[in-house]
Amino acid sequence: MKKIGILNHDISEVIASMGHTDSIAIGDCGLPIPDNTKRIDLALIKNIPTFIDTLKAVLLELKVEEVVLAQETIDVSPKVFEDIKSELKDVKITVISHEELKKELKNCKAVIRTGEQTPYANVILKSGVVF
């Protein structure tokens, strides 16, 4: 049995397979996920698990060099934006429209669906390197 880190097999597997600039997304329960993109569905009930708890868990194992989020996150859910900035510290943030973000999901290795019900609680994380 795995002793530390992410216990979810699918998330762990995707993170372990990622190379430099590969991406993974974390989204609220309403984010539309393209049919050809791997869906890792964690949603149980309203806000369980939360977006931010899921982000924190992923950041334990994934080196992130850039985060992509929607302008709507900043405008509509500023608390979510502040939480993202707090967790990602000095990581580059690229802001695009929500429509563009949804289109970019097809390029992600996977999308993790949370139980979050805060509008626009979605990010794409681009993998960095540890050396």
Does residue 14 form part of some domain?
Answer: no
Does residue 95 form part of some domain?
Answer: yes
Residue 20: what pLDDT? 98
Does residue 37 form part of some domain?
Answer: yes
pLDDT value at 112 more than 90: yes
pLDDT value at 114 more than 90: yes
Q: Report DSSP state, residue 105.
A: G
Mean pLDDT of the chain: 97
Does residue 54 form part of some domain?
Answer: yes
List residues forming the annotated binding site for substrate: 28, 98, 120-122
Q: What's the structural domain count of the chain?
A: 1
Does residue 70 form part of some domain?
Answer: yes
Helix (H, G, I), strand (E, B), or coil: what is residue 106?
helix
Identify the domain containing residue 87 by its residue range: 20-127
Residue in this structure with the two tokens 């995707």, named with its chain if needed:
14
Does residue 7 form part of some domain?
Answer: no
20 is catalytic: yes
Under the banding of pLDDT at 50, 70 and 90, the label for residue 3 is confident
pLDDT value at 53 more than 90: yes
Q: What proportions of the chain, in percent to the nearest 5, are helix, strand and coil?
A: 35, 25, 40
CATH number of the domain where residue 89 is located:
3.40.1650.10
Which bin fits 103, alpha (ψ -120 to 50), beta or left (φ > 0)? alpha
Please name which of 129, 125, 131 lies closest in space to residue 27, comparing C-alpha atoms.
125
User: How far apart are the C-alpha atoms of 79 and 73, rounded to whole Å?
Assistant: 9
Does residue 59 form part of some domain?
Answer: yes
- Residue in 5, 16, 17, 20 annotated catalytic: 20
Does residue 63 form part of some domain?
Answer: yes
User: How far apart are the C-alpha atoms of 8 and 70, rounded to whole Å?
Assistant: 27
Per-residue pLDDT tens digits for 71-102 = 999 999 999 999 999 999 999 999 999 999 99
What is the rounded average pLDDT of the residues 97-111?
Answer: 98
